[in-house]
Structure 1
Amino acid sequence: KLECCISGTHSMDLVALEPFGEYVSLPGLDCTFPGGYSSLPDRMVSALPEGILLLSKAVRTIQWRGSFHEEGDETRDFPVRVECEDGDTFLADHVIVTVPLGFLKEHHQNFFQPPLPKRKAEAICRLGFGTNNKIFLEFEKPFWEPQQQLLELVWEDESPLEEPSADLEANWFKKLIGFVVLQPPEQHGHVLCGFIAGKESEYMETLSDAEVLSTMTRVLRTLTGNPCLPAPRSVLRSQWHSAPYTRGSYSYVAVGSSGDDIDVLAQPLPEEPEDPRPLQLLFAGEATHRTFYSTTH
Structure 2
Amino acid sequence: MDFGVTPLDGLPLPPRVTICEVGPRDGLQNESTILPFGVKAEFVHRLVDAGNTVVEAASFENPVWVPQLADADDLLRAITPASGVRYPVLVPDERGLDRALDLGVTDIAVLGCVAATFPRCNPHRSVREPFEMLAPVVARAREAGLGVRGHLSGCFGDPWDGRVSTSQVVAAATTMKTVGCTELSLGDTIGVATPGQVAAVLDALVAAGIGIDEIAVHFHDTYGQALANALTALRRGVTTFDASAGGVGGCPYTGSATGNLATEDLLWQLHGLGIDTGIDLQRMVDTSTWLAERLGRPSPSRTVTALTS
- TM-score, length-scaled by structure 2: 0.21
Indicate the structure with greater strand content: 1
Bigger RCO of structures 1 and 2 (CA < 8 A, at least 6 apart):
1
Indicate the structure with greater helix content: 2
- TM-score, length-scaled by structure 1: 0.22
